[in-house]
Amino acid sequence: MSRSRCATTTLLAVLPALLPFIPLGLAAQTLTFGDAELGKLPADFEPGLAGNGGPGRWEVMKDESASGGKALAQLSTNPDDYRFLVAIYKPVMAANVEITARFKPVAGKTDQAGGVGVRVLDANNYYLARANALENNVRFYRVAKGKRQQLATADAPVSANQWHTLTLRAEGDRFTVLFDGKQMHTTKDTTSLPRPASGRVALWTKADSVTHFDRIEIKVLP
């Protein structure tokens, strides 16, 4: 069963024979880009921008170190510091969800960042976990009306031109961030209402970050 024309999608469930009748919360899917068309953003993704500096340039490109030899990359290099780019994965809508992505920070003078978002309403409203190779830290934000509010941070070595994994799990009002399999922080969001209660998942970069993404694992939780 495939949820994406552009990616290799694997669905795992407790009862495979009944998969069409099981809510997505009992299944998981993994996206890779080996079969995706080069030079384009896959159809199941929608690009978005908050801030200045113009839209991003998301496209599938060759990367021999990625699954299937291809990665989804953000290639635009406008250095405006107030420039937040997302690629929203449209097929999933959930409140409680976990997303894990492999990402590789390749270049950037202002930033070398990669992130994942949950409860994404649009390009201006979502929760975000991001890691930055220039700052060597992993942070968790709530983004509201295009402005970030930092809710947690932890120092960690984020090497450029190397693959890392970043996980953001949303369960009720609790959010857990893991980097390279290690828990960085768990945060209870106590910011004032309204807050995103449900939404899509997304990939994220900032400013002039050139970042590759591969093997996106999405689990909708009970």
Structural domain 46-55+74-220, CATH architecture: Sandwich (2.60)
Residues shown for the chain: 222
Write down the pTM of the prediction: 0.88
d(CA 219, CA 11): 10
Distance of CA 161 to the CA centre of its chain: 18
Task: Give yes or no for a contact between 43 and 34, defined as CB atoms under 8 angstroms apart.
Answer: no
User: What is the per-residue pLDDT across 58-88, written as a single tens digit (0 to 9) for each?
Assistant: 999 999 999 999 999 999 999 999 999 999 9
Task: Give yes or no for a contact between 76 and 209, defined as CB atoms under 8 angstroms apart.
Answer: no
8, 11, 26, 91, 107 from 15: Cα distances, Å: 21, 11, 9, 22, 44
For the chain, the structural domain boundaries read 46-55+74-220
User: What is the per-residue pLDDT across 106-139, written as a single tens digit (0 to 9) for each?
Assistant: 999 999 999 999 999 999 999 999 999 999 999 9
User: What is the per-residue pLDDT across 2-20, written as a single tens digit (0 to 9) for each?
Assistant: 444 444 444 333 333 333 3
Tokens coding 28:
């998981």
